Amino acid sequence: MQRIDLLEQRIIESEGSDAKSEEIILLRSISREKAKEEIMKLLDKSDKLYYSDIADALRLDLKEVVEIIEELEAEGKVGEAE
């Protein structure tokens, strides 16, 4: 419990400082297949998205998003935006 209290205190202190605030995103843990499905649905709705946009929107790990999109490209299911 002490570690959590320390982290909470650091967050409170940083919110009061002039330092650039960062958003904390809780990542979801879903199967790779489910992540692929969600990524494809998101890509169908948008003309152009960056890897980071996808990771943020779906609350997925950025590295995993990149790997999945590379797989989808290799499978011919998605392509680069023009």
Residue 20's pLDDT is 53
Residue 5's pLDDT is 74
Residuewise pLDDT in 10s, the chain (82 residues): 577 777 777 777 766 655 455 677 788 899 999 999 999 999 999 878 999 999 999 999 999 999 999 999 999 988 776 6
Cα end-to-end distance, the chain, whole Å: 50
Is the distance from CB of 30 to CB of 59 less than 8 angstroms? no
Residue 1's pLDDT is 52
Residue 78's pLDDT is 82
Please identify, in words, the CATH class of the domain defined by 28-82: mainly alpha
3 state SS of 12: helix
